[in-house]
Amino acid sequence: MNEIKVAVLGSEGVGKSALIVRFLTRRFIGEYASSSECIYRKHMSIDGRQLNLELYDPCSQPCEGKSTLNDQIHWADGFVVIYDISDRSSFLRAKAIVHLIRELHLGGSKRDTDSVIFLVGNKQDLCHMREVDREEGQKLASERRCQFYELSAAEHYQEVLLMFSKIVRNASLGGRAKERRRRPSGSKSMAKLINNVFGKRRKSV
Ligand SMILES: Nc1nc2c(ncn2[C@@H]2O[C@H](COP(=O)(O)OP(=O)(O)OP(=O)(O)O)[C@@H](O)[C@H]2O)c(=O)[nH]1
């Protein structure tokens, strides 16, 4: 059975956990407690093929045994790079991450890499506080040859589902057998995921 590894990357508070939880549980959970990086697992059937998805959610806080961004990039087959449309600094961070992914994957086939980097502007529901125009996101995506989405973990389920399903499909078609360096630590079941729902600070909404 195919194993597909997707890293969800971006600045602190852009909604990485919210998007992952939305995808895995269909629910938007505003407060999410997590003090360690973790990997969520999901069994999926895509185009009749059985896949085991591993979704990596980094921890923005300093934590024990934390992997570096380079480790995370080497580990993954696909990348969802998220920014918050109401936070310009998160867009600049997303730009730097996409740049680094491109640099570290120079050895790989260009076509493979193009289809497995998704740039995602989250918190579309906060468009009254927008600091990054949709066109800027689109421009960056086309310059860096990424797929582009703008959506809201708070308001959209279908779009989130579509986005994750597409990156899993693309990563599974790439079929790259990668030499993996250090594997990001931590692994969580759905039960643990639900248990983490309480206690995280509220940043926006
Ligand atoms: N309005 C709005 N708020 C959102 C959305 N997605 C996430 N949030 C909020 O943004 C804050 C941060 O969300 P998280 O999912 O914890 O973000 P994160 O990127 O995982 O954060 P770190 O783990 O600290 O890096 C929380 O208060 C969420 O409720 C969204 O689509 N719209």
Centre of ligand 1 from the C-alpha of residue 15, in Å = 3
From CA 169, how far away is CA 46, in angstroms rounded? 7
Centre of ligand 1 from the C-alpha of residue 145, in Å = 26
Q: What is the 3-state secondary structure (H, E, C) of 101-152?
A: HHHHCCCCCHHHHHCCEEEEEECHHHHHHCCCCHHHHHHHHHHCCCEEEECC
Is residue 199 within 6 Å of ligand 1 at its C-beta?
no
Q: Which pLDDT belongs to residue 71?
A: 87
- Residue 179 or residue 27, greater confidence: 27
Asked whether residue 186 is domain-assigned, the answer is: yes
- State which residues form the domain around 131: 3-198
pLDDT category at 2 given cuts 50, 70, 90 is: confident
Give the number of the atom of ligand 1 that is nearest the alpha carbon of residue 205: 1
Asked whether residue 203 is domain-assigned, the answer is: no
Is residue 204 within 6 Å of ligand 1 at its C-beta?
yes
Predicted structure pTM score? 0.86
Terminal Cα distance for the chain, rounded: 40
Q: Name the domain count of the chain.
A: 1
Tell me: the pLDDT tens digits for 127-161? 999 999 999 999 999 999 999 999 999 999 999 99
- Is the pLDDT reported for residue 32 higher than 60? yes
Q: 3-class SS at 51?
A: strand
Distance of CA 150 to the CA centre of its chain: 13
Asked whether residue 14 is domain-assigned, the answer is: yes
Asked whether residue 204 is domain-assigned, the answer is: no
Asked whether residue 171 is domain-assigned, the answer is: yes
pLDDT category at 168 given cuts 50, 70, 90 is: very high
CATH (domain of 48): 3.40.50.300
Select from 8, 11, 12, 14 the residue to mutate for testing ligand 1; criterion: most ligand atoms less than 8 Å from CB: 14
Q: Which pLDDT belongs to residue 37?
A: 79
Q: Which pLDDT belongs to residue 195?
A: 47
Asked whether residue 35 is domain-assigned, the answer is: yes
Asked whether residue 205 is domain-assigned, the answer is: no
Is residue 138 within 6 Å of ligand 1 at its C-beta?
no
Question: Which residue in 150, 114, 145, 125 sits closest to 135, CA to CA?
Answer: 150
Centre of ligand 1 from the C-alpha of residue 204, in Å = 7
Centre of ligand 1 from the C-alpha of residue 80, in Å = 15
Tell me: the pLDDT tens digits for 46-95? 989 999 999 999 877 766 666 788 888 989 999 999 999 999 999 999 99
Q: Which pLDDT belongs to residue 111?
A: 54
